[in-house]
Amino acid sequence: MTIDTDEEKERENIDDNDIVVEEKQAQDDHKSVRPDISKSKSKFQQAAKSVQLLSIVGSKVDQANKIGSELDGWCKEAALVLQQAIAAEGRGESPEAENFQAPGREHFLRVREYFKFSPARYAATLGIQTNQTTPSLRLVGSSAAAGRSGAVFFLSPDQQLIVKSCTQRDWTTMLKILPSYVEYVEKCKIQDHAANNADIRFNTFLPAYMGLYGFNVDGKQLQVIVMTNIFAGARKINRRYDLKGSTKGRTASQKEVEKRNPVYKDLDWLSKERKIAVPEGVMTVVAGILRRDANFLDNMGLIDYSLLLGIHDCDEFKDSPRESVDINVIKDSTRVCYAGIVDILTPYRFAKRMETLFSGTLRCCADVSCQPPHVYAARFSDFMEHSVLSCTE
């Protein structure tokens, strides 16, 4: 097994002047504190064309992986307000949305740069043209979205970015950890480069958080967070798993199993799936990245996160499509696995301490999901290394 590198290298070497020019101009925009509005509008339009070109030159999300429905009602209005605001920022203008907030701008710019989303590309992907009055986002109900339920999800037209509604706790936690999070992902890149891990196309499994926004729609406050879509793969995902490293009650319910795209859990993985067999060198790197990410979350006092895995069963008679830039892909002899950590914004506070006490200590259930951060991180890392990955050598 190898990490999916050759296809992405081929994609990066595509000789397209429009894309190169757009990225160069976007870098110039990033250096300018207050760009000229007329120039920003021109660059926004060029970026929009380049985003369309990227979708043609590179891969598209497999049709079976696409989710979401057309917007209506309040969600449609909310999506329009958000897309207009992001487009306005991309043109160097002030958003007109009521009570619009976009905290942590400088930090999120650094995150986008790390994950190869230039300011112009980001605005063109999530924004809309000035004369457009219908939002282009897709709505995903909580029942169709992988991970924790209870939130509203939007998807960008190319399905590469997710916009997820967040609670006040999520908002506060994101801003609290943001400086450390940015410093961490940037440090990961430096460390791995220094270690000559150039063949590994990713440095972290943590969510790629691109922005945080708050605004009013019909008098109702909405807070959302933008991140990349782990499952925006060019290959059909046959099975999905949400793995925490806990085995207490971690099976998919019958209701979940009956869904079109069910998300299975830890015990399901152990009973249904073979370990991902990789060469020793690859396993060392991948397991090391997972452990390093978990240690960071431990230091931030966070729990309840999961590793999402999307499994594609390979067909030796079909050509392998190119993958999107910066999507985490691991391969063994028979499967392609899309992977990423999600739901990292749960701090270990009083309520969670009580849950650990009553569910774990008093009821003698040692492997309940809720654990102190250091215990959670160690169990998570051990499960991934020993129950998800295996060595072929």
**Along the 393 residues of the chain, how does pLDDT read in single tens digits?**
444 444 444 444 433 343 333 444 434 444 443 444 455 555 555 555 554 444 433 457 888 888 888 898 999 999 999 999 999 999 889 998 888 999 999 999 999 999 989 999 999 999 998 888 999 999 987 555 554 456 889 999 999 999 999 999 999 999 999 999 999 999 987 665 444 444 457 899 999 999 999 999 988 899 999 999 999 999 999 999 999 999 888 999 999 999 989 999 999 999 999 999 999 888 999 999 999 999 999 999 999 999 999 999 998 777 778 886 678 999 999 999 999 999 999 999 756 655 655 565 545 555 666 789 999 999 999 999 999 999 986
* Pair type for strands 276-278 and 153-155: unpaired
Beta-carbon contacts of residue 76 (< 8 Å; ≥ 6 apart): 135
| φ, ψ of residue 345 in degrees (nearest 5) | -100, 30
Within the chain, all domains assigned CATH 3.30.810.10 are found at 239-391
What type of residue sits at position 24? K
Residue position matching structure tokens 């590793």: 307
- For the chain, count helices (H), then strands (E): 12, 14
In the prediction, which pLDDT does 46 show?
A: 55
Within the chain, all domains assigned CATH 3.30.800.10 are found at 18-228
What type of residue sits at position 165? S
> Contact, 296 vs 262, CB < 8 A?
no
C-alpha–C-alpha distance, residues 223 and 331, integer Å: 36
C-alpha–C-alpha distance, residues 43 and 281, integer Å: 43
E strand residue ranges, the chain: 138-140, 153-155, 161-165, 209-217, 220-228, 239-243, 263-264, 276-278, 302-303, 306-313, 329-331, 335-342, 346-347, 389-391
C-alpha–C-alpha distance, residues 92 and 74, integer Å: 27
Q: Does domain 239-391 have CATH number 3.30.810.10?
A: yes
What's the 3-state SS for 256-267?
Answer: HHCCCCCEECHH
Torsion of CA 54, 16, 336, 284, to 10 degrees: -120
pTM of the model: 0.82
C-alpha–C-alpha distance, residues 138 and 134, integer Å: 12
Element housing 93 (H / E): none
What type of residue sits at position 103? P
* Tokens at 247, concatenated: 């085995």
* Tokens at 219, concatenated: 């008098």
C-alpha–C-alpha distance, residues 153 and 272, integer Å: 29
Q: Does domain 18-228 have CATH number 3.40.50.2300?
A: no
